[in-house]
Structure 1
Amino acid sequence: MNIDRPFVDVRACWQPAGSRSSHGADGRLPAILPFVLVLLLASLLSGCGGGSSGSGGYADRPPSDRVALTAWQEWTRFGRSTVVYGGQAGGYVNRRGVSERSEPLSSKIGDYWGSCGHPSWNGRTSKPWSGAFVTWVMSHSDISAKEFPRDGRHGGYLATLYDRQRIGGRPAFVLHAPNEYSPRPGDLVCTGSAGPTWRHADSRTARRRIDHTASHCDIVTDVRGGFVQAVGGNVKDSVSMSLYPVDSRGRLRPVPGKTWFMVVEKRV
């Protein structure tokens, strides 16, 4: 298996005016953000500027988990697009990465789809590719098709994982409601068009709800500083890391504009 060595001393810094978003005309955090949130984000981004390579910025250390590392490397390869959630920083774009319509990411999306049997689809086909990204990461992390299905649709692979979990034994992946489990590197955090109503439904209804209401999953690469760091495809038209707030137990906090659907625990 081919795994590129990550550039461990690349830092993720607060971007200047060239990386503007709708949240601030000069590309910086809006002045209305609570001071405590500014301090927290500054701590997370403390790797910017001078200092040694071990200064602890959130982008400095590659994960040790193989699935998390594969996702982290793709995020690094395509510009480290970063989105911050929590409080009033809901969806603040700290850094923009390579666009899905630009090379080399556009062609690489064809590789993502290739892992699901559709190599002709790429970044210019306007097909949502976030599910294909997850499947590609799994397949390039020595996770077999028996352990994780080669399906480019989130609802498709989650429903199959649900079926395998119901069979019993030792499933490679276990589905949890967001309030039941604290995500770790290599796990999936997923949103949907509805909450975790599947959790206490009968099996037939639960499978249908999982298949039809799952909308997006990100791969957790780290948990620290009060945030889950999770990498996903087709986020802000790139491979992006989202920072989601967690509570004192490490459980996902509510995020405005997103509905937490499930957390998928990786046991392989």
Structure 2
Amino acid sequence: MKMFVDLEALNLRSTPEMDPGNRIAILHLGQEVDALGPATEPGWTRIKTTIGNVQKTGVVKAEVEGQRSLRIPVSAQREALARQAIIEWLRFEKGQGQEHHAPFFGYIGEMWQAIGLNLDGRDRDQFWSAASISFMVRNASSTVPKYKKFKFAAAHAKYMHDSIARRNANDTKAPFWGHRLHEIRPEIGDIVCKWREAPRDYDDAAASDAFKSHSDIVVSVQPDFVLAIGGNVGQSVNITRYKKTGAGFLAPQDAVFMHMVNRT
């Protein structure tokens, strides 16, 4: 059965035991694997996957520190966006590639150029996080045309406001609708929205598209938190962990104030 790695990193081992000498490889978040069934020891799963051009078979822990290590696929439309976010994370060396260093400043240049601006990562006074989200959504639109109706912009507030306006207009062609945090539980392919500098709420985003903000694309949903990928996080494309409430909604912590729900 096709599954995806649901942790930032997961050890693939030759035998179902925690032995430094039996590690075959380290699998990354979102890596596709074939689950072959339970291993001989409880709590382990047999898998095969392709690393480079070589197929590898081994075992992985089913849970690591209370977090599930593998997940089943969600809809193809949501997977398409998560995949583009993960591609950028890997392209930036899992958050280690810095914006002003080669080749990374050129990658940021691609993001800017996609929205018609002649900038790159060496323009360090320009926030590129919204350009990165727009770039990821645009790339996902190559297989999911509905993403082409996204409000591509250099500022997060533009598409946050648009998602609320289109929900209020009952626009079923919109790829995202903006929701209050307590309305819908997050899923892979949704977008977490945060304010920057000055506190904002859902009503502010409904009234204006001009305020400082940030957003990240959800790529993993665990019982107590989600992992989301965004740009200009630590001057790279990186992963942020966002807490969930006991009821499973995004928690109103760390400046999180609204939730763009994927409707593709």
Give yes or no for the alignment of 1:147 onto 2:149. yes
Which of 50, 55, 62 is matched with 2:61 structurally?
55
With a CA cutoff of 8 Å and minimum separation of 6, indicate the structure with the bigger relative contact order.
1
- Answering whether residue 123 of structure 2 is matched by residue 111 of structure 1, we say no
Please give the TM-score of this superposition, normalised by the length of structure 1. Answer: 0.66
Distance 1:139 1:61, change over 3 A: farther
For this pair of structures, how many residues does the alignment match?
201
After TM superposition, where is structure 1 displaced by more than 4 Å over at least 4 residues in a row? 6-10, 56-64, 143-146
- 1:194 and 2:196 equivalent? no
Measured in 2, the distance between the counterparts of 1:59 and 1:112 equals: 33
Letter in 2 for 1:266: N
The CA deviation string for residues 139-175 of structure 1, in whole angstroms up to 9 with x for no partner, is 0001556520221210112222333223224132110
**Conservation of the 8 A alpha-carbon contact between 2:164 and 2:179:** no
Contact 1:194-1:213 at 8 Å conserved across structures: no
- Aligned CA distance change for structure 1 residues 137 and 98 (closer, same or farther; 3 Å): same
Please state whether the residue corresponding to 1:212 is helix, strand or coil. Answer: coil
Q: Check whether the contact 1:107–1:122 (CA below 8 A) recurs between aligned residues.
A: yes
- Distance, in Å, in 2 between the alignment partners of 1:241 and 1:219 is 9
- Is the Cα–Cα contact under 8 Å of residues 176 and 263 in structure 2 kept in the other structure? yes
Identity of aligned residues (%): 27
1:158-173 mapped onto 2 (5 Å cutoff):
158-170=160-172, 171-173=174-176
| In structure 2, distance between residues paired with 1:261 and 1:9 | 25
Report SS of the residue matched to 1:262. Answer: strand
Q: Which residue of 1 aligns with 2:83?
A: 69
Q: CA RMSD in A?
A: 3.0
How far apart, CA to CA, are the structure 2 residues paired with 1:9 and 1:218? 17
Equivalent residue letter for 1:187: D
**Runs of 5+ consecutive residues of structure 1 not aligned to the other structure:** 1-5, 14-50, 82-96, 200-204
Preserved CA contact (<8 Å) 1:162 1:207 = no
C-alpha distance in 1, partners of 2:133/2:155? Answer: 9
Contact 2:80/2:140 (<8 A) preserved: yes
Compared with structure 1, are the counterparts of its residues 265 and 214 closer, same or farther at alpha carbon in structure 2 (3 Å cutoff)?
A: farther
CA distance in 1, matches of 2:185, 2:158: 23
Partner of 1:224: 222
Aligned partner of 1:22 in structure 2 is: none
Q: Partner residue of 2:210?
A: 212
